[in-house]
């Protein structure tokens, strides 16, 4: 049986790992699952290397908040607020996408009241 | 028997009247016939509502569709209403002249936008990238919300129409699930009415957390996106609705009857890409 070659999910330079979300996401997966999947990969890469991470959302369209919420919450839990603040950058497809992301990011530090 | 002898023109007032006639019979399981023969206009909001009521009914009511004027008979066909509930002709979504997407469902939130995008693209040509992203985001947020919270037995049903003269797209998405207030009530017992629930979810940061990672941004993102596009949005849930008009004013009102689940309806003005051949 032929082994499936995984797609290129990251590009590594001396100072930066670039992870392209579009290479990780399987559009047959539920949206929140896709967020978890991307988070898992980012966590693996970040723990293995000391360099900064750039997560690129280029090429992904109409990304709803239910993708960003699990992604950001998983990253926050495993890598911490400091890492999220200082060691990761994000690249967006559009202003609308960035706006949804920014609201999600704000929401994780101010979760719904009980 | 529910007789709707008025036009269902995608306005809040007309759907409210329909809800007041239909839903009491749904609640008492006495709905045997929906008579639309006297209607002279039906829009995608009406088509989605009627289809969702019909699909969720345990005992299927008979539906009498209008046969004139010809444009309305065509809408009944192209929206899929005729085939779905009156054993009429099947719609042909690939017909270049069709301005309507037949009533559909999807469990695949990533791709729910595809047929709507194709419809608008067919009539407009190359779409402005920001407009396309906004339309896609609106559709995805609504479907994800249905999937996360509604517990709708029919999933989400949607229908869309491109209005050539007005140059906007109308999208209606309905579920027959719990409704927003009933869902929020599980986490916030103090939210006991649907208007308050609507105000909360539109402002954002209120979530039933049906899934642990929910943070209550979905409908709020939808509202902001429609607002930024200069569009209109109406959310009907249980016995209330919230409406955003083109001047960015919000209003909240009671429906005078209680619907099962939630209906989201929005209109977005269509922007073409600057380099579109139509520009």
Predicted local distance difference test score (pLDDT) of residue A1? 39
pLDDT in tens, B159-197: 999 998 899 999 999 999 999 999 999 999 999 999 999
State whether A107 and B204 contact (CB < 8 Å).
yes
Residue A4 confidence (pLDDT) above 70: no
| Tokens coding B35 | 């008579």
Residue B148 confidence (pLDDT) above 90: no
pLDDT band of B279, cuts 50, 70, 90: low
pLDDT in tens, B114-138: 999 999 998 988 888 889 999 999 9
DSSP string computed for B77-112: HHTSHHHHHH--PPP-TT-TT--EEEEEE-S-GGGT
What value does the mean pLDDT take over residues A32-41?
Answer: 94
What value does the mean pLDDT take over residues B223-238?
Answer: 96
What value does the mean pLDDT take over residues A89-99?
Answer: 93
Q: Which of B106, B108, B110, B190 should be substituted to probe chain A, the one whose Cβ sees the most A Cβ atoms within 10 Å?
A: B110
Closest CA–CA distance from residue B130 to any residue of chain A (Å): 7
Predicted local distance difference test score (pLDDT) of residue B94? 76
Kindly list the strands in the beta sheet with B62-64, ordered across the sheet, starting from the edge strand earlier in the chain: B2-3, B33-35, B62-64
Handedness of CA A72, B112, B59, B258 (dihedral sign): positive
Predicted local distance difference test score (pLDDT) of residue A3? 40
Cα Rg of chain B, angstroms: 18
Residue A5 confidence (pLDDT) above 50: no
- B243 and B233 Cβ atoms separated by less than 8 Å: yes
Closest alpha carbon to B180 in B241, B262, B251? B262
**Cβ count within 10 A of residue A79:** 18
Q: What is the 3-state secondary structure (H, E, C) of chain A?
A: CCCCCCCCCEEECCCEEEEEHHHHCCCCCCHHHHHHHHHHHHHHHHHHCCCEEEEECCCCCCCCHHHHHHHHHHHHHHHHHHHHHHCEEEECCCHHHHHHHHHHHHHHHCCCCC
**Closest chain A residue by Cα to residue B112:** A62
| Tokens coding A70 | 């699990």
Hey, which residues does A11 pair with through a beta bridge? A18
CA B174 to chain centre: 5
State whether B109 and A107 contact (CB < 8 Å).
no
**DSSP conformation class of B42:** B
pLDDT band of A13, cuts 50, 70, 90: low
B110 touches chain A (CB under 8 A): yes
A82 class by beta-carbon count within 10 Å (0-12 exposed, 13-18 middle, 19+ buried) = exposed
**Rounded to the nearest 5°, which phi and psi values hold at B235?**
-120, 115
State whether B205 and A95 contact (CB < 8 Å).
no
**Residue of B133, B135, B220 lying closest to A94 (CB–CB):** B133
pLDDT in tens, B30-88: 999 999 998 999 999 999 999 999 999 988 999 999 999 999 999 999 999 999 988 88
Angle between helix B218-229 and B194-203 (nearest 10): 70
B151 touches chain A (CB under 8 A): no
**Residue of A94, A97, A108 lying closest to B215 (CB–CB):** A108
**Closest chain A residue by Cα to residue B145:** A66
B271 touches chain A (CB under 8 A): no
Closest CA–CA distance from residue A90 to any residue of chain B (Å): 18
What's the CA gap between B19 and B178, in Å, rounded? 16
Instruction: Please state, rounded to an integer, the average pLDDT across all residues of chain A.
Output: 86
Predicted local distance difference test score (pLDDT) of residue A11? 60
Q: Which of A39, A66, A101, A105 should be substituted to probe chain B, the one whose Cβ sees the most B Cβ atoms within 10 Å?
A: A66
Handedness of CA A48, A49, A55, A56 (dihedral sign): negative
Closest alpha carbon to B88 in B74, B68, B70? B74
**Cβ count within 10 A of residue B139:** 29
B203 touches chain A (CB under 8 A): no
Predicted local distance difference test score (pLDDT) of residue A37? 95
A101: chain B residues, CB-CB within 8 Å: none
pTM of the model: 0.91
CA B219-B221-B225 angle, 5° bins: 120
| Tokens coding B172 | 């209606």
What's the CA gap between B207 and B64, in Å, rounded? 40
Handedness of CA B68, B72, B74, B78 (dihedral sign): negative
What's the CA gap between B4 and B17, in Å, rounded? 8
């Amino acid at each position: 049986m032929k082994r499936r070659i995984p797609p290129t999910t990251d590009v590594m330079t001396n100072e930066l790992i670039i992870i392209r979300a579009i290479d990780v996401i399987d559009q047959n997966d539920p949206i929140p699952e896709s967020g978890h999947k991307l988070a898992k990969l980012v966590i693996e890469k970040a723990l293995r290397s000391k360099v900064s991470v750039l997560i690129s959302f280029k090429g992904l369209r109409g990304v709803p908040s239910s993708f960003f919420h699990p992604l950001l919450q998983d990253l926050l839990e495993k890598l911490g607020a400091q890492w999220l603040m200082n060691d990761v950058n994000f690249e967006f497809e559009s202003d609308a996408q960035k706006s949804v992301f920014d609201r999600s990011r704000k929401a994780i530090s101010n979760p719904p009241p009980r | 028997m529910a007789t709707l002898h008025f036009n269902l023109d995608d306005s809040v007032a007309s759907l409210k009247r329909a809800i007041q006639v239909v839903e009491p019979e749904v609640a008492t399981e006495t709905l045997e016939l929906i008579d639309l023969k006297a209607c002279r206009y039906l829009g995608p909001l009406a088509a989605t509502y009627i289809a969702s009521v019909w699909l969720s009914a345990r005992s299927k009511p008979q539906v009498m569709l209008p046969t004139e004027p010809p444009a309305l008979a065509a809408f009944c066909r192209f929206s899929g209403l005729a085939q779905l509930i009156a054993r009429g002709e099947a719609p042909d979504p690939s017909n270049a002249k069709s301005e309507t997407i037949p009533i559909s469902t999807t469990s695949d939130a990533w791709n729910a936008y595809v047929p709507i995008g194709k419809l608008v693209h067919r009539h407009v040509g190359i779409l402005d990238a920001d407009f396309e992203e906004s339309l896609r985001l609106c559709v995805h947020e609504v479907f994800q919300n249905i999937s996360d919270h509604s517990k709708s037995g029919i999933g989400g049903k949607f229908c869309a129409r491109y209005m050539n003269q007005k140059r906007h797209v109308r999208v209606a998405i309905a579920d027959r699930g719990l409704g927003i207030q009933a869902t929020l009530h599980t986490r916030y017992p103090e939210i006991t009415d649907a208007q308050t629930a609507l105000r909360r979810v539109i402002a954002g940061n209120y979530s039933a957390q049906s899934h642990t990672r929910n943070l209550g941004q979905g409908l709020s993102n939808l509202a902001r996106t429609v607002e930024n596009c200069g569009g209109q949005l109406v959310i009907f849930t249980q016995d209330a609705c919230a409406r955003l008009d083109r001047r960015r004013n919000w209003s909240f009102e009671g429906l005078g009857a209680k619907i099962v689940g939630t209906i989201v309806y929005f209109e977005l003005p269509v922007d073409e890409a600057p380099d579109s051949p139509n520009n």
